[in-house]
Amino acid sequence: MPERTVTVASSVGLHARPAAVFVKKAKELPVPVTLAKEGGKPVSAKSMLQVMSLDVQHGDEVTVAAEGEGADVAVDELAGLLESDLDA
């Protein structure tokens, strides 16, 4: 299962708009994707409620993981989003 740990760049973390952008992209992907805060339990990256429940702040490290055919691409795309400022 491909996974990648990244630092969240958005100034407000994964709240409101940045979380919505992230979840929308995750829902477009054809593979199961999870997101986990360092030391925490993975949640579905396709669920706005679950992503918001992680309380991810600016500068937090999170791990994106995916399973199945195309998982590498999915992880790369979502990690790229997290590493950019989604507030801009």
Phi/psi at 67 (nearest 5 deg)? Answer: -130, 145
Check if 58 is active-site: no
Half-sphere exposure in the Cβ direction for 31 (13 Å, CA): 20
Residues 47, 44, 42: CA angle, nearest 5 degrees: 135
Please name the residue that has the structure tokens 């919505």.
Answer: 20
Residue of 15, 44, 67, 70 marked catalytic:
15
Active site residues: 15
